[in-house]
């Protein structure tokens, strides 16, 4: 039996609705004067199409302009759909990395976070991750969703969260200011704190970023301790290249379930590494479809690249709590066929926009 | 189209083929090889493993170096013969084949003599071993400053790799990051060394990106880095880094019989395509520079344009678009100088997507003209007037200065001048170099220290 339109956006996780029905329900919710957010109701007036009339399918989402830059200054309350009345619980206003200009801010509602977490838990269960173990997060809290997510998730899983905080923007600033030594000292300071927890506590679940994980395991004793004690290492917040992933899985942490979570503030969640990938397969991420959908496109033509080719990632987030369609991210990835029934693309081997190429050096002989 | 040659990283547990690989193309843009790019994790693990590796005895090191040197110049290594190796180097680096062959022989010779040549740098007061009887009454012992030495290598000349062999002779474990443009030489040399007693945990090849290169510098005890002025500046305050900057080698011609030294000047400018830091960039003439410039132009213009692998090739070859960029840069910089050769263009299209860089001669009107510092990777020379009243100042910041006919009083000052690394007097080309002779001081001055030991 099909879900009633008002229930489609809250679909039970084992009853995934048809993407078209889902998108139509979302357009009604976000663009009806009684339920839409002040931001979208106002913004709709400037669109040259009518979302309720014109947007039905996943492909129709491309009608929307990329609005994410506006979230650098839109007041967060303007982004909360009126349909919640006074029942919306904002668990935090989380910000994007702030790599490209001032940060983008989005309010995260308890209702959405819980849905997203339930969905991720299904994947953890499917991978056989034990409940009730201690977690160690070595990740940013502050305005970033990563830290909050980790601590909430640890509790959901019946574990106790240990935590080492960091400020990634300070690291970026040190590097941008030509102070790599300062960034280095700061990273060592974080890693030393994490090591201390690992050496003195029993940790089953480690959550961190690829650069910090790499630094942690540079020390062979720490690598051994993680390999012997930790059941799962979950990484996110930055890219991990295929060679590093392979080394970690085969040489450095062979006894650990290393899995990736590719997230973005602009989709208000993560995407999970597909289980059961072959030894040599690229790390592939599946989204929480139809809430979160990707398309991998050729940035020059806007068309989707064939499966197996690399392109730039366009992200859509559609939930009751938020509408954020057609956002062209800076990341590139290989387009992969999604699991059956999923809308959009899955992605593999996510990488930052290529910075390859030496700047031409003319003078001098070297 | 045949499969590209795979140039793997050479790490502590053997060759490592990364998923991330760069295509190495020849000067015509044809793909020749794929160069693995190792991630930072691999860099740090390799250096960690090398640090734990065993140190061979001095005798074993000298023998292994000699063995590797002979193999480098004569054996098939990693499936590649010497002839194939030399062909590929000339095709990807655009270096005239004759120059590559000379470098092969010199590298082999440097390996054979690496141990002996390091001995020249040992302070007279220092002994080799704490067991030396001299330490019973107190003595300096010559010791390493660290265990792991890294080289961020350039592509301009295969001969640069002969230098770091001395670090192995001194007992260092060595990590080489090859350039992406010409990785064949360090690959072959490292592979040859690993077939000797050095083994996989004494010497490694780590092709990697900029972030990986920074990790090499920070994880190694000491590093030699090749680059331009910006590299020299970046590491100026770092006592663990030895920057190898531009050479800006020069010739000073005094006296009336400069014509009888013309061979030396031409050879200094153009030998093996003029791509070395020890090729001459500027000629200073005590007298009228015009006839010198014209004589140089006449001689240099006779060099034919050839593909680099030709037997009679003598000019460097670059991809045509790179050559065009270099030409434009040269003409921009030459503004205000008198063009004696090369005014019609220096990039000579060879019809296959590559271009030879033909010689250029310019005359400037003062010994402090800014162009005199413009060092380019082909026979390009700036000729300037100089008189004794100009003094040493215009001759500073020089890797090799050949002074022909200089007065003894001037020679005193040139030898004393701290920013001139080497002074050759008379008919010696700036590219003269022998094992046992410092290139830019002895490398061992950077790698070694003395330590007081007394016992008994």
pLDDT in tens, B367-377: 999 999 999 99
Residue A218 and residue B44: Cβ atoms within 8 Å? yes
Residue A247 and residue B45: Cβ atoms within 8 Å? yes
To which residue do tokens 């740090």 refer?
A: B44
pLDDT band of residue A4 (cuts 50, 70, 90) is: confident
If one compares A238 and B399, the residue with the highest pLDDT of the two is B399
Strands (E) in chain A, as ranges, are: 90-95, 105-109, 135-138, 161-164, 205-208, 232-236, 257-264, 269-273, 284-286, 292-297, 310-318, 323-336, 346-352
Domains of chain B: 5-246+443-453 (3.40.605.10), 250-425 (3.40.309.10)
| Residue A359 scores a pLDDT above 70 | no
Closest chain A residue to B19, measured at CA: A243
pLDDT at B314 (0 to 100): 97
User: With an 8 Å Cβ cutoff, is A178 touching chain B?
Assistant: no
Residue A362 and residue B329: Cβ atoms within 8 Å? yes
Work out the minimum CA distance from A176 to partner chain B, whole angstroms.
14
pLDDT at A364 (0 to 100): 63
Beta-bridged to residue B133, according to DSSP, are none
pLDDT at A6 (0 to 100): 72
User: With an 8 Å Cβ cutoff, is B12 touching chain A?
Assistant: no
* CB neighbours of residue A40 within 10 Å: 20
pTM here? 0.92
pLDDT, tens digit, 9 for 90 and up, residues A175-221 = 888 888 899 999 999 999 999 999 999 999 999 999 999 999 999 99
Residue A366 and residue B227: Cβ atoms within 8 Å? yes
pLDDT, tens digit, 9 for 90 and up, residues A88-130 = 999 999 998 766 578 999 999 999 999 999 999 999 999 999 9
Residue B20 and residue A184: Cβ atoms within 8 Å? no
* CB neighbours of residue B134 within 10 Å: 17
Question: How much is the average pLDDT of A12-37?
Answer: 95
pLDDT band of residue A357 (cuts 50, 70, 90) is: very low
User: With an 8 Å Cβ cutoff, is A278 touching chain B?
Assistant: no
Residue A366 and residue B322: Cβ atoms within 8 Å? no
Q: Taking Cα atoms as reference points, which of B386, B307, B302, B391 lies closest to residue B351? A: B307
pLDDT at B255 (0 to 100): 86
Q: Measure Cα distances from B452 to A76, B55, B126, B139, B142 in Å.
A: 69, 22, 9, 6, 9
If one compares A366 and B144, the residue with the highest pLDDT of the two is B144
Work out the minimum CA distance from B133 to partner chain A, whole angstroms.
40
List all residues of chain B from 304 to 323 with a beta carbon under 8 Å from chain A: 322
Is this complex scored with an ipTM above 0.90? no
pLDDT band of residue A361 (cuts 50, 70, 90) is: low
Give the one of B42, B156, B229 whose C-beta lies nearest to A365's C-beta.
B156
User: With an 8 Å Cβ cutoff, is A183 touching chain B?
Assistant: no
Residue A243 and residue B375: Cβ atoms within 8 Å? no
Give the one of A248, A251, A365 whose C-beta lies nearest to B276's C-beta.
A365
pLDDT at A363 (0 to 100): 66
List all residues of chain A from 40 to 99 with a beta carbon under 8 Å from chain B: none
Residue B44 and residue A247: Cβ atoms within 8 Å? no
CB neighbour burial string for A291-329, b if at least 16 within 10 angstroms, e if fewer = bbbbbbbeeeeeebbeeeebbbbbbbbbbbbbbbbbbeb
pLDDT at A366 (0 to 100): 63
Per-residue pLDDT tens listing for chain B (456 residues): 578 999 999 999 999 999 999 999 999 999 999 999 999 999 999 999 999 988 899 999 999 999 999 999 999 999 999 999 999 999 999 999 999 999 999 999 999 999 999 999 999 999 999 999 999 999 999 999 999 999 999 998 999 999 999 999 999 999 999 999 999 999 999 999 999 999 999 999 999 999 999 999 999 999 999 999 999 999 999 999 999 999 999 999 998 889 999 999 999 999 999 999 999 999 999 999 999 999 999 999 999 999 999 999 999 999 999 999 999 999 999 999 999 999 999 999 999 999 999 999 999 999 999 999 999 999 999 999 999 999 999 999 999 999 999 999 999 999 999 999 999 999 999 999 988 899 999 999 999 999 999 998
pLDDT at A112 (0 to 100): 97
User: With an 8 Å Cβ cutoff, is A33 touching chain B?
Assistant: no
In the 8-state DSSP scheme, what is residue A279? T
pLDDT band of residue A365 (cuts 50, 70, 90) is: low
Closest chain A residue to B327, measured at CA: A362
Interface size A-B, in CB pairs within 8 Å, comes to 79
Q: Which of A243, A253, A334 to mutate to test the interface with B (most CBs of B within 10 A)?
A: A243
Residue B322 and residue A360: Cβ atoms within 8 Å? yes
Q: Find chain A residues with C-beta within 8 A of B41's C-beta.
A: 214, 217, 243-244, 247-248, 252
Whole-angstrom distance, CA of residue B273 vs CA of residue A201: 64
């Amino acid at each position: 039996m099909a879900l009633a339109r008002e229930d489609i956006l809250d679909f039970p996780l084992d009853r995934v609705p048809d993407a078209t029905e889902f998108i139509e329900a979302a357009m009604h919710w976000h663009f009806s004067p009684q339920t839409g957010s002040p931001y979208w109701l106002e913004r709709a007036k400037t669109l040259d199409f009518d979302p309720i009339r014109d947007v039905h399918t996943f492909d129709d989402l491309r009608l929307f302009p990329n609005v994410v830059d506006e979230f650098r200054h839109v007041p967060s309350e303007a982004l909360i759909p009126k349909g919640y009345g006074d029942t919306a619980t904002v668990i935090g206003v989380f910000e994007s990395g702030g790599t490209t200009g001032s940060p983008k801010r989005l309010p995260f509602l308890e209702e959405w976070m819980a849905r997203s977490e339930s969905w991720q838990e299904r994947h953890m269960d499917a991978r056989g991750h034990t409940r009730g173990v201690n977690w160690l997060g070595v990740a940013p809290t502050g305005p970033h969703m990563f830290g909050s997510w980790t601590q909430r998730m640890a509790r959901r899983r019946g574990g106790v969260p240990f935590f080492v905080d960091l400020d990634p923007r300070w690291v970026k600033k040190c590097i941008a200011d030509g102070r790599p030594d300062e960034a280095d000292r700061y990273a060592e300071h974080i890693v030393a704190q994490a090591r201390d927890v690992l050496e003195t506590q029993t940790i089953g679940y480690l959550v961190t970023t690829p650069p910090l994980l790499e630094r942690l395991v540079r020390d062979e004793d720490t690598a051994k301790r993680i390999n012997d004690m930790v059941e799962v290492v979950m990484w996110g917040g930055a890219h991990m290249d295929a060679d590093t992933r392979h080394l970690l899985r085969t040489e450095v942490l062979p006894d650990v379930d290393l899995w990736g979570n590719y997230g973005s503030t602009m989709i208000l969640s993560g995407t999970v590494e597909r289980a059961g990938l072959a030894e040599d397969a690229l790390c592939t991420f599946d989204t929480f479809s139809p809430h979160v959908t990707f398309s991998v496109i050729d940035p020059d033509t806007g068309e989707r690249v064939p499966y197996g080719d690399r392109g730039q990632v366009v992200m859509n987030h559609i939930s009751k709590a938020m509408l954020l369609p057609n956002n062209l991210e800076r990341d590139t990835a290989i387009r992969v066929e999604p699991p059956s029934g999923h809308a959009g693309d899955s992605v593999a081997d996510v990488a930052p926009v290529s910075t390859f190429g030496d700047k031409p050096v003319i003078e001098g002989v070297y | 189209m045949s499969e590209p040659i795979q140039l793997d990283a050479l790490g502590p547990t053997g060759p490592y083929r990364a998923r991330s690989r760069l295509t190495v193309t020849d000067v015509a843009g044809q793909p020749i090889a794929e160069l693995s790019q190792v991630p930072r994790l691999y860099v740090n693990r390799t250096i960690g493993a090398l640090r734990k590796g065993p140190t061979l005895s001095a005798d074993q090191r000298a023998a292994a170096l000699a063995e590797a040197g002979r193999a480098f110049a004569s054996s098939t290594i990693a499936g590649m013969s010497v002839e194939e190796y030399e062909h590929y180097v000339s095709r990807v680096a655009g270096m005239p084949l004759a120059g590559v062959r000379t470098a092969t022989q010199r590298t082999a010779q440097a390996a054979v003599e690496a141990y002996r040549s390091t001995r020249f740098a040992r302070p007279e007061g220092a002994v080799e071993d704490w067991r030396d009887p001299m330490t019973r009454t107190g003595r300096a012992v010559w010791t390493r400053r660290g265990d792991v030495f890294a080289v961020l290598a350039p592509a301009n000349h295969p001969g640069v790799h002969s230098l770091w062999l001395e670090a192995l002779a001194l007992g260092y474990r060595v990590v080489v990051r090859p350039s992406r443009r010409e990785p064949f030489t360090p690959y072959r040399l490292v592979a040859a060394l690993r077939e000797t007693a050095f083994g996989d945990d004494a010497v490694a090849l780590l092709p990697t990106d900029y972030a990986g290169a920074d990790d090499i510098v920070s994880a190694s005890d000491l590093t030699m880095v090749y680059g331009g002025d910006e590299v020299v500046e970046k590491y100026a305050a770092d006592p663990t880094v030895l920057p190898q900057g531009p050479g800006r080698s020069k010739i000073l011609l005094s006296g009336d019989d400069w014509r009888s030294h013309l061979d030396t000047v031409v050879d200094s400018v153009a030998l093996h395509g003029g791509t070395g830091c020890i090729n001459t960039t500027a000629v200073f003439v005590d007298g009228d520079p015009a006839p010198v410039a014209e004589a140089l132009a006449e001689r240099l213009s006779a060099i034919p344009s050839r593909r680099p692998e030709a037997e009679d090739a003598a000019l460097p070859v670059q991809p045509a678009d790179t050559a065009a960029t270099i030409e434009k840069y040269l003409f921009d910089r030459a503004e205000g100088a008198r063009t004696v050769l090369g005014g019609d263009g220096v990039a000579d299209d060879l019809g296959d997507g590559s271009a030879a860089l033909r010689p250029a001669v310019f005359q400037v009107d003062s010994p402090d003209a800014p162009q005199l510092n413009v060092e380019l990777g082909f026979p390009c020379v700036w000729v300037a007037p100089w008189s004794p009243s100009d003094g040493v100042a215009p001759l500073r910041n020089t890797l090799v200065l050949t002074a022909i006919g200089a007065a003894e009083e001037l020679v005193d000052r040139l030898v004393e001048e701290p920013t001139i690394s080497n002074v050759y007097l008379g008919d010696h080309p700036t590219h003269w170099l022998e094992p046992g002779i410092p290139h830019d001081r002895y490398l061992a001055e950077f790698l070694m220290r003395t330590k007081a030991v007394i016992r008994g």
